[in-house]
Amino acid sequence: MDAISSIIINKALDGLSMRALATAQNIAGASSPRYQPLQVKFEESLKAAAARGPEAVRDLPLTITRATQSGFGDEPRLDLELETASDTAGRYAALLNLLGREMQIERLAVQGGQ
């Protein structure tokens, strides 16, 4: 795996971890009056940073922000929050699986295929 790929994967794992925290807070606060949901959006900025190189990816800030409300249908949607939680967990697991496979390949290369 080239250097930038591992940096991108690590930054994506950080972003997904932050999204999981925001989603958990959204689920916990759903029944609170005037609760404003949180969100973490990073995929587009990560893609743009990757095109600029490893330093841009390393320096990319990841933030939790308040979700914008449309004014129509802004009531808490636990079904959507649970879907986000499931999607985030799946993506996180897939990236960890990818890193695990890469480590297996490197281990085999170091051991000479034995």
Question: Tell me, what DSSP letter sits at residue 32?
Answer: S
Percentage of the chain beyond pLDDT 90 is 67
pLDDT of residue 66: 93
Strand pairing partners for 65?
Answer: 39
Q: Return the beta strands (E) in the chain as ranges.
A: 38-39, 65-66
Contacts of 41 (CB under 8 A, 6+ apart): 65
Percentage of the chain beyond pLDDT 70 is 93
Nearest to 81 by CA among 11, 13, 22, 17: 22
C-alpha span between 16 and 91 (Å, rounded): 8
pTM of the model: 0.87
- Residue-wise pLDDT for 46-97, tens only, equals 999 999 999 999 999 999 999 876 555 667 788 999 999 999 999 999 999 9
pLDDT of residue 31: 84
Average pLDDT, the chain: 91
Instruction: Count structural domains, the chain.
Output: 1
Strand pairing partners for 38?
Answer: 66
Which residue range is the domain that position 82 belongs to? 3-110
